[in-house]
Structure 1
Amino acid sequence: MAAGDLAKAKAVLLGRRRLDAEALRAALVDLHDFWLSSRAAAIGLTERAALVAVGALGRRELAPWSDLDLVLLHDGRKDVDRLARELWYPLWDAGIGLDHSVRTPGQAVQVAATDLRAALGLLEARHIAGDPALTDKVGAAVRQAWRAGIRGRFDELADATSQRWRKVGDVAHRVEPDLKNGHGGLRDVQLLDALAAAQLVDRPGADVQEARALLLDVRTELHRLAGRARDVLRAQDADEVAAALEIADRFELARALSGAARTVAFAAEVGLRSARVALPRRGLAALRRAPVRRPLDSGVVEHLGEVVLARDASAVRDPGLVLRVAATAARTGMPVAAGTLHRLSDTAPELREPWPRAARVELLSLLGAGRALVDVVESLDRTGLWGRLFPEWGAVRDLPPRDRAHVWTVDRHLVEACAQAARLTTRVARPDLLLVGALLHDIGKGRDEDHSVVGESLAVQIGRRIGFAEADVAVLGQVVRHHLLLPHTATRRDLEDPATVARVVETLDGNGLVLDLLEALAEADALATGPGVWSPWKRTLIGDLARRCRTLLAGEALPAPAALDADAEKLAVAVAADGRPQVRLDEGVDPATVVVAVPDRPGGLAAAAGVLALHSLEVHAAELRTADATSAAVFTFTVSPRFGGLPDPALLRSDLVRALDGRLALADALARKERDYAPVGATGEPPAPPRVLWFDDEATGAAVLELRATDRIGLLHRVAAALEASGVTVRWARVATLGASVVDAFCLAHPDGGGGPDRADRQRIEAAVLTAAG
């Protein structure tokens, strides 16, 4: 069979959709083995030479577009260059990816001794053709050298693994995970195999092999779908990959992948720690006495850098032992030994309800540990101990987020939020309720009902189990039920309207403690959601709302709506004098502020937003005010440059003048800019469909339109133009950019000063806004 025929046969296999991922890999391995062995025989590769597969082909894990990793071994053959040419060139000519080398046995062993990557590859070597004794000789020598030299190479192996994890990130929690190189990916399974080959750990267990099979299947289908080698599962490919694997949708696929990757990641972390302990000792080190077990807490000691149980510790007699071990690990930064986790998993009974006070104290100590909490909870969860403490956790475990702003699975998000809340405990009177509230605020997700409502009942249930007093349980339930109240109100309502503040206070039954907890939780929740979600502007809005609520709770009068500052008033007066727009740029704050004053007529907001976008300014927030005395509209934008520096205010004003008098076609200019300045590294993924929500403004009767959409250059301009063309008055606007998404709110009223648009008008306006944002 010629190499071209090999490529054609491979194409036929890829076209057979009835072949599942495992069968396709097996067929591809058989096909390449057959061609290579036939080719080797045809060119005389028999005695004193051997063709060996390493990498994916060596492991029999060949995905459709994986490169072939081949080693030509020879024992002094004079025609080895000819053999290499007649093997490699046909493969290259057929367009088959190839990584190759030619070695004598001595050279192969020497390279394995000096090059870690080569050593890991040769540990997986598989004979393809030629002299099998030569392959066996090299394989045995490499394995023996690996076992003998592992003590000197272990640090290099561990450091390379840690660097890879830091660089690539987790498979389990990435929106677009790297199935091969990520933490919990296929390379970590190969790491475990290498440690087992050094006789430091056992071969990976059935759970890891099952996880490996899923990772391989997903990678195989990703190659088949993409038509090229690809290790990163992009969001736009996930639905098709899920369908090929007969998984319901991309969310179920993400959940399955998360569980598999966490299994592999945990096994790899434990494997590295266990291997380090098992390293053979040489020379004087072999004569040293075993390390002393250092007491850390009641029933908990440190041994070889890990947290382990004291010899007389018993989870049956000591109900707080599991949480004490976890809290000690988080406090000291040391991992819990795998043997200790498994022993506790086998022996620890469920805590009686309500929990003993000692167990509750240890839980709060664990939750207050900050970032160290994350790894400890992960180890408890991987061994079933966390689910034994919180059975409700099963519904959110590995649950993928539905909101594009979230970067973590729901369970990891909860732990991250708790870690963030640990930094904020000094701000509140009840840090214990803040920590538990952060841990449980999204516990109601993964069910069909409103997660805040379901979460309240679950939080009450858990609070009673933990042993909180009934009054504290009620506060905990309120915190979970209303954890979105402050951020939603701050970004959807006019905070200067007394009715807005009164509604929040009434919703919280006038409870100042709940208000304080919610303010801190809003920050922890946003920080644990993803980059850009917690911004200075959002902090200002929520802080302002909370201060106004405290003022009302204290029985004091709310502050009157803030008047325009003196500089903004001057801009408005200048607009009234000559009818031309004015611009002020304040660079003294980060992000910067741009104040724009224009004649109060339709089109002003759209023009101002368009000019800012044209000058590469990203709008994080916008405030709309009307200077009634001067018939001028004043917009305050919080902005930052997408790249470069801030523009000259004179240029902004010049373009704004041209836009308002029709000499600058903003829509066309912004369309060109969007084509020319697409985000660097954009994957081509179609944006999520925009969505519109409506809310009623209780005080004025106006309506609040909230747009959720993927951010684009000029989006605010297009939406504002659609609203102004719809014949409504925009009383105020709140614009918030959350990473790649925006949440924009506009208060809309009839121009005659009446209430908000009716149902028919809302449908018309909504259609116009969705068209503009789509």
Structure 2
Amino acid sequence: MTRSEESAAGASDQGAPAAGSFNPTAKPASDLAAAVRQLVTGGARQLDAAALRDALLDLHEFWLATKATEIGITPTSGLAIVATGGLGRGEMVPFSDLDLMLLHDNLSQDQVSEVAERLWYPLWDANIRLDHSVRTVPEALQVAGEDTSAGLAMLEARHIAGDSELSSLLIGGARRQWRTGIAARFDELVEHAQDRWQRFGQIAHRAEPDIKSGRGGLRDVQLLNALAIAQLADVYPSQSLASPSGSLGGAHLALLNVRTELHRVSGRGRDTLLAQHADEIGAALQIGDRFDLARMLSDAARTVSYYVDAGIRTAGNALPRRGFSALRRPARRPLDEGVIEFNGEVILARDARPERDPGLVLRVAAASAITGLPMSSSTLSRLADSAPELRTPWPRQALKDLLVLLAAGPSTVATVEALDRTGLWGRLFPEWGAVRDLPPRDVIHIWTVDRHLIETVSRASSFTTRVSRPDLLMLGALLHDIGKGRGGDHSVIGAELATQVGTRLGLWPSDIETLSAIVRFHLLLPDTATRKDLQDPEVINAVANALGGDAVLLELLHVLAEADSLATGPGVWGDWKSSLIGDLVRRCRLVMAGEPLPQADPIDARHLALVEDVGGVRVEMSRIDNSHTYSVTVIAPDTRGLLSKAAGVLALSSLRVHSASVNSHRGFAINTFMVSPHFGAPPAAELLRQQFILALNGELDVYASLDKRDRDAQGTARVGEPPPAVPIRPPAAPPRILWHGDPAAGQLVAEVRTTDRSGLLAILTHVLERFGADITWAKVTTLGSSVVDVFGISGSELADKRAELERELYAVLPAPPPPKPVQEAS
């Protein structure tokens, strides 16, 4: 018994009477069509999706093999039938086209035409959709070489009947030709895929997705297979890079099963999953209702999308380089401790030990987000295999890296998606499982719940300078809908989960309370503003009382309401909603207690005692709790320019300033900085002291050195200078300067909210000092990549110079790129 006979018999055993009774030696093609219809509409005895595809495959192979023998297509005839498309891949779904090629070994036209007519006409007469061609092997290879789509199709070619050596020549030749020509075709291949994604959208986030051509669909699996045949990528990479609910192979099978049932349920060869068919397909696949089906499709499509993106990137890096780039080896550029950039990807350094470094996952992710460079799949695989879980509470640096990741803007979305598809995000946030791929119940939402949370984070990153606690804003945006998918009021459930997450992250108890309140009341402002009378004092008092009179919480909820609406869908946020919520917030502020003005931190008693003994410059350094963070205290005679030069020396020594407290006592400046080195160990305190003395004496120009470093980082190194470092993406939020105090009295407090950059503290204080302002005290706070720096300044001419000083400060602050001009249609 042949394989086709065995499969047909097996199909009959599973309850498909058409497969058992079908006899192609006695039946024309019309009975093949009838047998297919009987399989597809088998009633109570119908096959499941996988068994149906196998039965359809065997039926078509059996009929074609028998028909071939009947019309003289034998192993020695110089003729062969080759299948492409669904039959070639072995993925026959109910209404697949039949893609066939009749190969011949330079036979006469009359002979070939006669055989072709006897093969094609019965199929046409039976109304079987047929895509056919008649070619020699050289002709077929020529077409494959000239047309990328035809070349892709021949990669799936499979021998069906006749001369197998002829088929082997075509199949082997097409694959060799594809491998040798991929360098010239690669750009076209990627462009074709991107155009298709633009036309059909993302399966994971479409109400009615195209299972075949949408982003993350079956066409993308075929693209990955084509790259694998070109020996540029793995069609099914390491199993460790599986999504939380399955592997790439599982995702492919899930999409194929949905397409099979879609054809069966709709009764036609459609690939767009209409809402009217979703419940029936979900039931047929034993998944559940349409929401369960949508969740499964989201997971499958996003898994396929991740692997295709990684495959295209890997393939592009594997292609031979051209021109001058072929003569230059890709540079390995450091990004963070144990993290480097190589060949356009973020990878681990050679000496990185992920099994001993729990925080490495977040450092890699933060570096990816702020540079816009993707994390390599091999790096993610290694981290997934060996990185241990972070202890509770998280180390301070891990929380800082998380905040950097969240505040990076749109690049955060791709970074978190890659972490989630490889299971790493779920390790950081086990609560994520309930919202992962969860479809929205409200039609105004265009994203799954988990994607909506990350989109809200991305939107909120543009508003970090509008609040005094950007860190809590970003965490609140991340968690505001975390309570969904569990039943009950998601705001109440989410508030409890936010407390759980905040405790694990190591937040202060007061910050945990605020974070929980953000999640609990994230709908309070929009619901009140759009549904109640804002002229009623009782309404305003109720909101103020619910928030406990906390003006900071009110500020955070105001900004989150805008970010949440913008991340929901088009038209959700507009002037009407903005004005109503703004009016509610203004009224609430009137009934809340005023916010206290910023003030200096108290001076450590030990440092006060040291002032009595210091004769010159003293620098102390100590490590904080065995972490990667150090305290550096500089005590020196107070002179103008001292703070900016001290901050400049730290920046030039590759030390990031996370916070600082600046004070003075009896003519001495007492400046304490919390820092962490970019790489390795920090320089010794004595070396910092020597550099600081050189800067004070004018022998080290810290400002010129910082300016050169900044130009290098922006990719603007001059001829003859070293190549630029990896450029950092521009900030998402515009800088903001707030003024407190009375300029007429010569006393002002300048509050600067912006995005961090190397040497920022030195640059800001240099501008203040250049304008003749005496910095009497300062509080510097870096929250991830967001900065809130407060300077108490004095000077007799501050009232006259304040506007000019503000312009100069804004000029040195990092700002988002200007919006692109809108081109009018001609």
1:416 and 2:450 are equivalent in the alignment: no
> Residue in 2 aligned with 1:85?
117
Can you list the C-alpha shifts for 1:176-204, whole angstroms capped at 9, x where unaligned?
22111112111111112111111122331
Alignment of 1:632-711 (within 5 A): none
Instruction: Please give the alpha-carbon distance, in whole angstroms, between the structure 1 residues aligned to 2:374 and 2:249.
Output: 24
Does residue 167 of structure 1 match 2:199? yes
**Residue matched to 1:427:** 466
Amino acid at match of 2:493: V
Structure 1 distance, partners of 2:78, 2:39, is 34
> Equivalences for 1:225-374 in 2 at 5 Å?
225-280=265-320, 288=327, 290-374=329-413
Matches within 5 A, 1:239-638: 239-280=279-320, 288=327, 290-553=329-592
Separation (CA, whole Å) in 2 of partners of 1:358 and 1:448:
35
Provide the residue aligned with 2:35 in structure 1: 9
What does 1:59-138 correspond to in 2, within 5 Å?
59-78=89-108, 79-138=111-170
Contact 2:211–2:218 under 8 Å retained in 1: yes
The residue identity in structure 1 corresponding to 2:449 is V
Structure 2 unaligned blocks of 5 or more? 1-26, 240-246, 595-826
Corresponding residue for 1:19?
47
Q: In 1, distance between residues paired with 2:320 and 2:370?
A: 30
Q: CA deviation at 1:527?
A: 1.3
The residue identity in structure 1 corresponding to 2:252 is R
Q: Distance in 2 between matches of 1:426 and 1:399?
A: 31
Q: Residue 283 of structure 2: SS of its match in structure 1?
A: helix
Deviation at 1:86, TM superposition (A): 2.9
| Conserved? CA contact 1:319–1:356, under 8 Å | no
**Alignment partner for residue 146 of structure 1, among 174, 178, 198?**
178
Q: Alpha-carbon deviations, 1:92-120, whole Å to 9, x = none?
A: 33222222222111111111111111111
| Corresponding residue of 2:235 | 203
**Matched residues in 2 for 1:274 and 1:441: separation?**
36
Which secondary structure does the structure 2 equivalent of 1:350 belong to? Answer: coil
Compared with structure 1, are the counterparts of its residues 283 and 448 closer, same or farther at alpha carbon in structure 2 (3 Å cutoff)?
closer
Q: Which amino acid aligns with 2:38?
A: V
Q: How does 1:171-186 map to 2 (within 5 A)?
A: 171-186=203-218
Q: Distance in 2 between matches of 1:144 and 1:37?
A: 27
Q: Greater shift after overlay, 388-397 or 163-172?
A: 163-172
Q: Which residue of 1 aligns with 2:789?
A: none
How far 1:283 sits from its partner (Å)?
Answer: 9.7
What secondary structure sits across from 2:354 in the alignment? coil
Residue 361 of structure 1, CA deviation = 1.1
| Offset from partner CA, 1:118-156 (integer Å, 9 cap, x none) | 111111101122211111111111111111112222222
Answering whether residue 262 of structure 2 is matched by residue 222 of structure 1, we say: yes
Residue identity in the other structure for 2:167:
T
- Structure 1 range deviating more: 35-44 or 45-54: 35-44
Task: Provide the rounded CA distance (Å) in 2 between the counterparts of 1:181 and 1:289.
Answer: 38
Take 2:456 and 2:531, find their aligned partners in 1: how far apart are those partners? Answer: 23
Between 88-97 and 504-513, the greater mean CA deviation after superposition: 88-97
Amino acid at match of 2:90: R
TM alignment of 1:24-43, pairs within 5 A: 24-43=52-71
Deviations 1:743-767 (A, max 9, x none): xxxxxxxxxxxxxxxxxxxxxxxxx
| 8 Å Cα contact 1:444-1:451 kept in structure 2 | yes
Partner of 1:48: 78
Q: 1:512 to 1:179 in 2, by over 3 A?
A: same
CA contact (8 A) 1:259 1:398 kept: yes
Instruction: Give the AA of the match of 1:142.
Output: A
CA change 1:282–1:542 in 2 (3 A) is closer
In structure 1, give the amino acid aligned to 2:388: P
Unaligned runs of 5+ in 1: 556-774
Q: Distance in 2 between matches of 1:284 and 1:259?
A: 42
Letter of the 1:29 counterpart = L
Equivalents in 1 of 2:553, 2:257: separation in Å? Answer: 48
CA distance, structure 2, for counterparts of residue 82 and residue 528 of structure 1: 62
Query: 2:224: which partner in 1?
Result: 192
Partner of 2:674: none
- Provide the residue aligned with 1:689 in structure 2: none
Letter matched to residue 317 of structure 2: V
- Is contact 2:444-2:569 (8 Å) kept? yes
Higher mean Cα deviation, 162-171 or 184-193? 162-171
Contact 2:357 2:388 in 1 (8 A): no
Aligned equivalents of 2:575, 2:322: Cα separation in 1: 57
State the shift of 1:88 in Å: 2.5
State the shift of 1:414 in Å. Answer: 0.6
Post-superposition CA distance 1:644-665 (Å, at most 9, x none): xxxxxxxxxxxxxxxxxxxxxx
- Answer whether contact 2:413 2:454 (CA < 8 A) is retained: yes
Q: Report percent identity of matched pairs.
A: 60
Q: Which amino acid aligns with 2:476?
A: G
Within 1, Cα distance between the matches of 2:420 and 2:155?
33
The one-letter amino acid paired with 1:271 is G
1:15 alignment partner AA: T
Q: Tell me the equivalent position of 1:579.
A: none
| C-alpha distance 66-536 of structure 1, shift in aligned 2 (>3 A) | farther
Q: Distance in 2 between matches of 1:451 and 1:171?
A: 26
Measured after TM superposition, the shift of residue 38 of structure 1 is 2.6
- Deviation at 1:289? 5.8
Q: Report how far residue 552 of structure 1 moved.
A: 2.6
CA deviations 1:350-381 (Å, max 9, x no partner) are 11222111111111111001110011001111
1:23-64 superposed Cα distances (whole Å, 9 cap, x missing partner): 111111111122222333333333122111101111111111
Q: Which residue of 2 aligns with 1:58?
A: 88
Which amino acid in 1 is paired with 2:42?
A: R
Q: What secondary structure, in the 3-state scheme, does the structure 2 residue paired with 1:70 have?
A: strand
Alpha-carbon distance between aligned partners in 1 of 2:512 and 2:455, rounded to the nearest angstrom? 23
Please provide the CA RMSD for this pair: 1.9
In 1, Cα distance between equivalents of 2:562 and 2:112: 67
Write the distance in 1 (CA, Å) between the matches of 2:100 and 2:289. 38
TM-score normalised by structure 1 residue count = 0.69
Query: Please, which moves more after superposition, 488-497 or 211-220?
Result: 488-497
Cα deviation digits, residues 603-632 of structure 1 (max 9, x gap): xxxxxxxxxxxxxxxxxxxxxxxxxxxxxx
Aligned partner of residue 407 in structure 1, secondary structure: coil
Name the SS of the counterpart of 2:350 in structure 1.
Answer: coil
In the aligned structure 2, how far is the partner of 1:304 from the partner of 1:365? Answer: 23
Asked if structure 2 preserves the Cα contact closer than 8 Å seen for 1:319 and 1:351, the reply is: yes
Q: Secondary structure of 1:102's match?
A: strand
What secondary structure sits across from 1:403 in the alignment? coil
